């Protein structure tokens, strides 16, 4: 049985297109150029920050966020950045009586922003708030604790086979891989993806799949 469903944030419920556009503008490079470099970085399996280091070799995400904030440009997101199917999917899973959570590699202030969106979730966790980032096992151990303690009853949903599916499986969770966003379309690890319980192209598909699974295993 699946008793809890946790979602990655960026690329899963949150469309990061606008965020990358603002980074391109901040670095002073054409948006399509940054997108092209990001695609190449993802295809090579590198840290996404290597995209920015192509244009600024000493780039450090924490220091650069501080510079942007000091310049009055605060990195943020809002309702308009949610994928259109995100809120309805979360609500449908809650209606099934499941514990629903968000857990992603995000700065601590993202937790405040997510809470402000009043999403139908029970738990919100961030890598900075937890002091552990994906794909570290420590991050997913936080998810397991937040989800009730039994990893076999928790489904983790994400767009990345490397950062989401593989480490979630390693701690005993079930997984769902969603194919969208740059990582979902570019990073192809078939041996990892095939181990997912579900593979979807949109979150609209997920509530029905979970209900069917639980009906078969109840």
**Residue 75 and residue 14 in contact, taking contact as beta carbons nearer than 8 Å:** no
Q: Give the closest residue to 201 by CA, choosing from 217, 175, 179.
A: 179
pLDDT per residue, tens digit, the chain (218 aa), is: 999 999 999 999 999 999 999 999 999 999 999 999 999 999 998 989 999 999 999 999 889 988 988 998 877 899 999 999 999 999 999 999 999 999 999 887 888 999 999 999 999 999 999 999 999 999 999 999 999 999 999 999 999 999 999 999 999 999 999 999 899 889 888 999 999 999 999 999 999 999 999 999 97
Q: Residue 1 is encoded by which pair of tokens?
A: 């049985």
Peptide bond connecting 135 to the previous residue in cis, omega within 30 degrees of 0:
yes
For the whole model, what pTM was predicted?
0.93
Angle, alpha carbons 44-57-65 (nearest 5°): 95
Angle, alpha carbons 22-23-28 (nearest 5°): 100
Burial code (b: 16+ CB inside 10 Å, e: under 16) for 98-117 equals: bbbbbbbbbbebbbebbeeb
**Residue 159 and residue 180 in contact, taking contact as beta carbons nearer than 8 Å:** yes
Separation of alpha carbons 171 and 138, rounded Å: 10
pLDDT of residue 125: 94
Domain spans of the chain, in order of start: 4-15+78-217, 17-70
For 4-15+78-217, give the CATH class: alpha beta
């Amino acid at each position: 049985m699946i008793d809890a469903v946790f979602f990655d944030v960026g690329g899963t419920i949150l469309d990061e297109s606008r965020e990358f556009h603002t980074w391109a503008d901040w670095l002073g490079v054409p948006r399509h150029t940054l997108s092209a470099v990001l695609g190449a970085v993802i295809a090579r399996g590198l840290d996404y920050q290597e995209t920015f280091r192509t244009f600024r070799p000493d780039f450090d995400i924490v220091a650069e966020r501080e510079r942007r904030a000091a310049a009055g440009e605060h990195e943020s997101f809002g309702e308009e950045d949610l994928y259109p199917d995100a809120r309805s999917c979360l609500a449908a899973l809650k209606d099934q009586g499941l514990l629903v959570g968000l857990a992603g590699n995000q700065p601590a202030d993202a937790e405040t922003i997510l809470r402000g969106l009043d999403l139908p979730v029970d738990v919100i966790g961030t890598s900075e708030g937890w002091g552990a980032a994906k794909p570290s096992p420590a991050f997913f151990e936080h998810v397991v604790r937040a989800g009730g303690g039994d990893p076999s009853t928790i489904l983790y949903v994400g767009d990345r086979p490397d950062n989401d599916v593989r480490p979630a499986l390693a701690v005993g969770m079930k997984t769902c891989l969603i194919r969208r966003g740059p990582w979902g379309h570019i990073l192809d690890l078939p041996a990892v993806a095939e181990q997912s319980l579900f593979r979807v192209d949109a979150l609209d598909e997920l509530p029905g799949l979970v209900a069917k699974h639980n009906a078969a295993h109840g």
